[in-house]
Amino acid sequence: MIPPFSGLEFGIVLAMFAIVTVLGFAATRWRRGATLASVEEWGLGGRRFGTWVTWFLLGGDLYTAYTFVAVPALLFGSGAIGFYAVPYTIVAWPLVMFAAARMWSVCHEHGYATAADFVRGRHGSALLALLIAITGIVATLPYIALQLTGIKAIIEAMGIGGDWPLWIAFVVLAAYTFTSGLRAPALIAFVKDILIYVVVLIAIIYIPYKLGGYDVIFHKANTALVPKKATTLLAGSQYLGYSTLALGSALALFLYPHSLTGVLAAKSRNTVKKNMALLPAYSLMLGFIALLGYMALAAKVKPVGGTKKAPDTTTIVPQLFNTEFPHWFAGLAFGAIAIGALVPAAIMAIAAANTFARDIYRPYLRPSASDREEGLVSQIASVVLKLGAVAVIVALKVSFAIELQLIGGVIIIEILPAVVLGLYTRWFHQWALVAGWVVGMGLSVYMLYVTPSKTAAHFGSASFAFSTWGFHTKVTIWTGVVGLVANLIVASALTPLLGRLPRGQDQTSPADYEEAEAPAMALDPPAHPGTV
Amino acid sequence: MTDNGRPRRRRPVVLLLVLPLIAVLVPEFYNFGHPAIGGMPFFYWWQLAWIAGVAVCTGIVYRATRSPR
């Protein structure tokens, strides 16, 4: 079934897209330095973003179209387990607060632009840095594709057939990201977030009012979930899966290249830390958006697209707006979701492109490359990555977009020992970290491989059922946690054994991790002694 | 890093960061339908309320540990 096409909806979405495009190109002139042609300027916005810009940038970066589309789809299809997104984005902030601040300081001090840059400087191992770089790029690709599924859902709900709008949207996005770099998504994020806040606020008041209150919504949702063998509460066997999913996703969040890009673009250590207290505001929005999944169940919304056996449930939120709101408001909501996908897609492509230019192109392909050339390679790589993501999403039909991101999370968490523990200690031997990565990644990928879904035999889900290994239980666990534990065991066991092998040179000193501002200022006496 | 020649110590206030982790990572504490607020089961409003909780905790820790300007 294809929903009827509305000219008004399409016109509003098109107009919003046009405004954002103008902003994207205009961003070239925003707070620019002497030249844009370097990873520092193009890819990190010159490391000059203050509290508010960082808040919008990180918010737009981390709470993506996946928020709007895939989380409610998970509640719609699987009940309470889908609400894991809320504890996930609650625990992320206290967990990463100090690590992110240390990361900002050491990268600012040494001019590192990526996690692989840091690992090369800290552990003195080119191989380990290469593994970190490849892991980051591979994990980011499905995340960019995930953003596309958000736009795709909108296109389907607007009653437009074919993938051509997707191509046009991404070609335009690639063009202004190429010229403006990180400044483009930073500027667009303002528009995107304000729009989304307005849309969500209206939706969570108006829809429950129309459907008869949250009481009715939860009751009807529960009834509708029964045939799917789910409820609005967790089953006992889901506890471990729920907790590990939330904790693991939170740990993985700041290992992604795009998160680090957002952190490193901040102008000071305080800016980073202050944002860990301000970013939960987005989680509140996420929580209510998640509940749209139950509202869709209560309103008996039918997904469009996909196949009969596996309908494309990512379309339920757009469909909910279609059925409950007038066309002009649905158009506004669709535009907000589409822009909400463009912002993170741009930042992710920039971050992965920086990683390619800094950590693969320069060290391995052209050691003599200038900063300018490195910047240009990054710009070109960002275009290739975006178009590659469109090709992937057009070729593969994905019914549960969220599983793509979960697989990315399972992969990226394997760099935690080298990066996050590396921020605190040099105890680990670099070869032990390499071995840990190999074992952890191997185990995780194997576990993903043997996990089927309703529609696929392999790579079906990031929730691993212990019954696969012959245990008589329904308990599942987030695959990434198992891989991470294996990684840590191997790295810890091998480090004492490798004690006699030479260690890589550490370029950093303990003070580098505490730097608050530019080095010259850190030498000044503190203005208010005793406040630290 | 040292301030006024003293080694920097982690303050106990940092322990506030553990509170939200315990509150939302153990479903045994909150996987119930009652008491509901405005029709919203306990499971949902408890976790939503902790969004405000985590903002308060990280906010206090930020103020206590920020670097001097």
Q: How far is CA A91 from CA A97, A250, A280, A389, in A?
A: 10, 6, 10, 30
How many other C-beta atoms are found inside a 10 Å radius of the C-beta of residue A442?
A: 14
Inter-chain residue contact B33 with A233, CB threshold 8 Å: yes
Q: What's residue A356's pLDDT? A: 92
Helix (H, G, I), strand (E, B) or coil at A425: coil
> Each residue of A300-333: b (16+ CB within 10 Å) or e?
ebebbbbeeebbbbbbbbbbbbbebbebebbbbb
State CA A316 to chain mean position distance: 21
pLDDT in tens, A79-132: 889 899 999 999 999 998 889 989 999 998 898 999 999 999 999 888 999 999
Q: Does B42 touch chain A (CB under 8 A)?
A: no
What is the pLDDT averaged over residues A511-517? 78
Show residues of chain B in contact with A273, CB under 8 Å. Answer: 62, 65-66
Q: How far is CA A492 from CA A425, A432, A495, A502, B18, in A?
A: 12, 7, 5, 17, 25
Rounded-to-integer distance, Cα A266 and Cα A470, Å: 49
Of the candidates A147, A63, A77, A62, the residue with the CA atom closest to the CA atom of residue A393: A147
Smallest CA–CA separation between A73 and chain B, in Å? 17
Rounded-to-integer distance, Cα A287 and Cα A270, Å: 27
The position carrying tokens 């499971």 is: B43
- Which residues have C-beta within 8 Å of that of residue A34, sequence separation ≥ 6? none
- Per-residue three-class SS string for A354-383: HHHHHHHHHHHHCCCCCHHHHHHHHHHHHH
Of the candidates A458, A149, A168, the residue with the CA atom closest to the CA atom of residue A306: A149
Query: What is the enclosing helix (H) or strand (E) of A110?
Result: helix A85-110
How many other C-beta atoms are found inside a 10 Å radius of the C-beta of residue A219?
A: 16
- Decide if A208 is inside a domain: yes
Note the helical H segments in A279-370: 280-298, 316-324, 327-356
Number of domains in chain A: 1
- Decide if A530 is inside a domain: no
Per-residue DSSP letter, A303: -
- Decide if A124 is inside a domain: yes
Q: Are the C-beta atoms of A276 and A57 separated by less than 8 Å? A: no
Inter-chain residue contact B3 with A530, CB threshold 8 Å: yes
Kindly report the length of chain B. Answer: 69
What are the phi and psi torsion angles at B6 (to 5°)? -95, 145
Q: If you measure CA to CA, which chain A residue comes closest to B54? A: A90
Smallest CA–CA separation between B12 and chain A, in Å? 13
Q: How confident is the model at residue B46 (pLDDT cuts 50, 70, 90)?
A: very high
| Percentage of the residues of chain A whose pLDDT score is greater than 90 | 21
pLDDT greater than 80 at residue A307: no
Q: What's residue B1's pLDDT? A: 43
- Decide if A517 is inside a domain: no
Per-residue DSSP letter, A523: T
| Domain interval for residue A110 | 7-505
Give the pair of three-digit tokens for residue A189: 């994020």
Helix A85-110 and helix B18-25, axial crossing angle in degrees, nearest 10: 150
Q: What is the largest CA-CA distance in chain A?
A: 71
- Decide if A192 is inside a domain: yes
- Decide if A1 is inside a domain: no
Give the pair of three-digit tokens for residue A195: 């729009």
pLDDT in tens, A429-487: 999 999 999 999 999 989 988 887 766 777 777 778 888 888 888 888 888 899 999 99
Helix (H, G, I), strand (E, B) or coil at A182: coil
Q: What's residue A482's pLDDT? A: 92
Rounded-to-integer distance, Cα A110 and Cα A108, Å: 6
Q: Are the C-beta atoms of A167 and A88 separated by less than 8 Å? A: no
What are the phi and psi torsion angles at A476 (to 5°)? -120, 165
Rounded-to-integer distance, Cα A91 and Cα A85, Å: 10
What is the pLDDT averaged over residues B46-54? 93
Q: What's residue A443's pLDDT? A: 93
Whether the complex's predicted ipTM surpasses the cut of 0.90: no
Q: If you measure CA to CA, which chain B residue comes closest to A82? A: B44
Show residues of chain B in contact with A274, CB under 8 Å. Answer: 62, 66
Q: What's residue B2's pLDDT? A: 41
Amino acid at A152: K
What is the pLDDT averaged over residues A259-288? 89
Rounded-to-integer distance, Cα A416 and Cα A1, Å: 45
What is the pLDDT averaged over residues A189-198? 86
Residue among A234, A283, A516 minimizing CB distance to B27: A234
Helix A401-412 and helix A430-449, axial crossing angle in degrees, nearest 10: 160
Q: How confident is the model at residue A304 (pLDDT cuts 50, 70, 90)?
A: confident
Q: What's residue A396's pLDDT? A: 66
Smallest CA–CA separation between B2 and chain A, in Å? 9
- Decide if A72 is inside a domain: yes
Domain of A104, CATH number, reads 1.20.1730.10
Q: How confident is the model at residue A525 (pLDDT cuts 50, 70, 90)?
A: very low
pLDDT greater than 60 at residue A527: no
- Decide if A514 is inside a domain: no
